Amino acid sequence: MKPGQSSDEMAILSVRSIFRPRSYLLHLALADRLRDALGVLIWLLFPGPRWLAQRYMLQGRLAPFLYTLIHPLFVTWQGLLGIRDLVMEREN
């Protein structure tokens, strides 16, 4: 842990390093119950204001809550771009 960094910040950073964009598909594939798969999807779209504040380096108390509205759109857009890239790779 770095000086001045709380254990909550370290937990958020470690989660960020585990969950890379393509690893969400792996987590969904490994989910053996529908409830687990839905949990991954819900966390992907709505990770919570503390995580959003760390991810986007947001200041203030209101900004993370506003990003709960924007983040699902961003994730969806990134997912569509990822699918497009996979399709373009296969065509080449």
CA distance 12 to 15: 5
Question: DSSP string spanning 13-48?
Answer: HHHHHH--TTHHHHHHHH--SHHHHHHHHHHHH---
pLDDT at residue 5 greater than cutoff 70: no
DSSP string, 48-81: -HHHHHHHTT--SSSHHHHHHHHHHHHHHHHHHH
- For the stretch 52-81, pLDDT in tens is 998 889 999 899 999 999 999 998 998 888
**Rounded mean pLDDT, 16-34:** 64
Average pLDDT of the residues of the chain: 77
Helix (H, G, I), strand (E, B) or coil at 84: helix
Q: Is the pLDDT of residue 31 over 70?
A: yes
Backbone CA torsion sign across 37, 19, 74, 50: positive
